[in-house]
Structure 1
Amino acid sequence: MKFSVVALCMVVALAGEHAQAARWQPSPGHTQISIWPGTPPDDMPMPGPESSGIVQKNVGGRPWTYATNISVPTMTVYSPRRRNTGAAVLVLPGGGFEVLAIDLEGTEVCDWLTSRGITCVLLKYRVPSEPYDQKCDCRPDNLATSTRSLEDAQRTIGLMRLQARKLHIDPHEIGVLGFSAGGYLAAEISTRYKKRLYAPIDEADKQSARPDFAVLVYPGHLATGDKPGRLATGENGLNPNVPVTSDTPPTFLVQAENDNTDGVIQSLVYSAALRKAGAKVELHLYAEGGHAFGLRHTALPITDWPRLVEIWLHSIGMIQEK
């Protein structure tokens, strides 16, 4: 994965360009909950204190907020205010495993989901995460497991199932929705749910970590090559760290053909692997859209993708009136 949208975040480091604030906090009425009872597994020092900031380069006419140096991962629950379908979605913002686009691909997604009667759980997972480090030439193939973030995702889905009654959700209607690097994380949790990457801690880790469905928006890290026209020749293969099987949950993919950060080959390869394995998949490709547009609506047709997701969720039986 090239760094592009994430590179915009790194501009924050330039003196005087953007003001950094203290750590990100959700809107009033919502509380971040630590997902680990103690020190997270595979703990490592961060390059600085947790912080957030604003990237002034507009997306859909507005700037966006990032969070970084996250050593204490948290989940923030956003519940529907009126009707509740019982479905829930774990939202995984992107940011190249360096930062998290915490509003563009996080809170704004939760606003949409809750307006549709779906409980949203926003995961602020650990970043930066080795080996995805833009400060050095130590990510040669971009295919490595994002260990700490995957641990956080496995743990959170277990917590969601354990606390299903408290959260007013159906433990059999829990999905994941990830953007960019978060899309790769959604593929990882969709294919590597049988065994925790960490030693089990409590009852949450006895719950299944398998999502019931997955939505991947402009994902990265899924293809071993970047040759869109050569899918049929086998020159582009599937990242072996996402071992697709017939048990991989139903998956929705959306990407633009002019995505110069994570080429459209990412979705093409993953979709082909799902179909070959006999897993359910729906793929939507658009001529234009680029990368990192989130849910912000523009004149481009690709920004209507949330409506297509709603239709798809109905079609697979994951949105039902309760």
Structure 2
Amino acid sequence: MKTIISFILILTVMNLQAQDTIIPLWPKGKIPNRVETDEKEEHVKEGILRISKVQEPTIEVYLPAKQNATGEAVLIFPGGGYHILAYDWEGTDIAKFLNGKGIAGIVVKYRLPTSESLKEKYNVPLIDAQRALRLVRSKAAEFNINANKIGIVGFSAGGHLASTLGTHFNEKVYDDIDNADKLSARPDFMTLVYPVITFTQSTKHSGSQKALLQGNETEELLQRFSNESQVTPETPPTLLVHATDDTAVPVENSLLFFQALKDKGVSATMHIYPKGGHGFSLARNDEHLRDWTERMFEWMSSLD
């Protein structure tokens, strides 16, 4: 009986060790641009877990077994129009899927500009994104990853945030608080899946624009967050995935970004599917579209 109990205890410990780890992005009391209010974070599970009014941003870390680890890590930015985070659909499900390929999957629960607990709201998602990349880079040894193989993937509005990080990683949007902030916030590669890109073209996603800018729709900010106009030769190699029949975020968003990357001499790969609509995540029920993930893994291998 003691042997059985010991075996069960060992399995329990192993299972606990295999669970995800949630780490605050910021030390307690040092969250930039935070305003104290009575607002509470909301979690609503209706098929998809929707998180809104994020108060304390975090990273949720999923690590593969060391024997399977490739040394690569991908930070994941769920979409939701800058109103909510589709946290499992475009977040934790993606992280677990990456683990199956030996890749560390790290979900970023970033603050949303629709929250009342923020000032200078349009900067806050980028603040959290820069910090998340730096924090993961600072923990590379702890996470058994290569500090020079840290990429990002973003979906829809999360794709806008990812492309913002990929083009504004050197922009000073918060004051350093610890040694992690001395590290580069530049992703080594990025994947943008049905991303919001432009705020100035007719094919823009107005909902994301209005949510991010919160009425501050000046020409300067519209240009600043139209990321096709912010690409430089230092922008990371990029993979774009989109469906032609996407009526929510038109495929022209990806086309604009691809052209900008090409014009600046940045390595760019794009997969455009005829059907799939918007918000397909892993597309596991679509025999054709679900192959986009395999194309991503092939692309990542080509970057070595």
Give the alignment's TM-score, normalised by structure 1: 0.77
1:146 and 1:68 map into 2 onto residues whose CA distance is 16
Task: Give the Cα separation in 1 of the matches to 2:115 and 2:198.
Answer: 17
CA distance in 2, matches of 1:102, 1:256: 22
Asked which structure has the greater CA Rg, the reply is 2
Correspondence for 2:155: 179
Aligned-partner Cα distance in 2 for 1:302–1:226:
27
Which residue number corresponds to residue 71 of structure 1? 55
Alignment of 1:267 onto 2:258:
no
Pair 1:39-2:30 in alignment: yes
More helix by share: 2
Stretches of structure 2 that go unaligned for 5 or more consecutive residues are 1-16, 205-221
Equivalent in the alignment of 1:244: 231
Deviations 1:42-84 (A, max 9, x none): 11356841121123xxxxxxx2111111010001110002411
Residues 1:272 and 1:145: Cα distance change in structure 2 (over 3 Å): farther
In 2, Cα distance between equivalents of 1:118 and 1:46: 38
Match of 1:23 in 2: none
Contact in 2 for aligned 1:64/1:104 (Cα 8 Å): yes
1:138-149 equivalences in 2 (<5 Å): 146-149=122-125
- d(CA) in 2 for partners of 1:184 and 1:88? 20
8 Å contact kept, 1:215–1:252: yes
Query: Counterpart of 1:312 in structure 2: which amino acid?
Result: W
Q: Say whether the 8 Å CA contact 1:46–1:69 is kept in structure 2.
A: no
How many Å separate the matches in 2 of 1:47 and 1:262? Answer: 34
Task: Provide the rounded CA distance (Å) in 1 between the counterparts of 2:199 and 2:254.
Answer: 8
Take 1:101 and 1:45, find their aligned partners in 2: how far apart are those partners? Answer: 25
Q: CA contact under 8 A between 2:150 and 2:187: conserved in structure 1?
A: yes
Within a 5 Å distance, the mapping from 1:1-322 to structure 2 comes to: 29-37=19-27, 38-44=29-35, 48-55=39-46, 63-81=47-65, 82-129=67-114, 146-222=122-198, 224-226=200-202, 239-241=223-225, 242=227, 243-299=230-286, 301-317=288-304
- CA deviations 1:192-247 (Å, max 9, x no partner) are 1113310111101100000000000000142522359xxxxxxxxx9543310111
Conserved in 1, the CA contact under 8 Å of 2:54 and 2:115?
no
Amino acid at match of 1:52: H
Q: Which residue identity does 1:83 align to in structure 2?
A: N
CA distance in 1, matches of 2:299, 2:247: 27
Whole-Å separation in 2 of the counterparts to 1:54 and 1:250? 35
The CA distance in 1 between the partners of 2:279 and 2:23, in whole Å, is: 27
Assess if the C-alpha contact under 8 Å between 1:68 and 1:128 holds in 2: no
Displacement of 1:300 in angstroms is 5.4
The alpha-carbon distance between structure 1 residues 192 and 227, as it changes in their structure 2 partners (threshold 3 A), is closer
Normalising by structure 2, what TM-score?
0.81
C-alpha spacing 1:273/1:65, structure 2 compared with 1 (3 Å): same
Question: Hey, what's the Cα distance between the residues in 2 that align with 1:46 and 1:210?
Answer: 32
- Separation in structure 1 between the aligned mates of residue 82 and residue 32 of structure 2, nearest angstrom: 17
C-alpha distance in 2 between matches for 1:206 and 1:195? 13
After superposition, the C-alpha distances for 1:162-218 in whole angstroms (9 at most, x for unaligned) are 111111110000000000011011101101111331011110110000000000000
Q: Partner letter of residue 72 of structure 1?
A: E
Give the Cα separation in 2 of the matches to 1:217 and 1:85: 23
Deviation track 1:114-156 (CA, whole Å, cap 9, x = no partner) reads 110111111100124479xxxxxxxxxxxx9941111001011
Alpha carbons of structure 1 residues 227 and 34: separation in structure 2 relative to 1, 3 Å: closer
Aligned equivalents of 2:194 and 2:182: distance in 1? 32
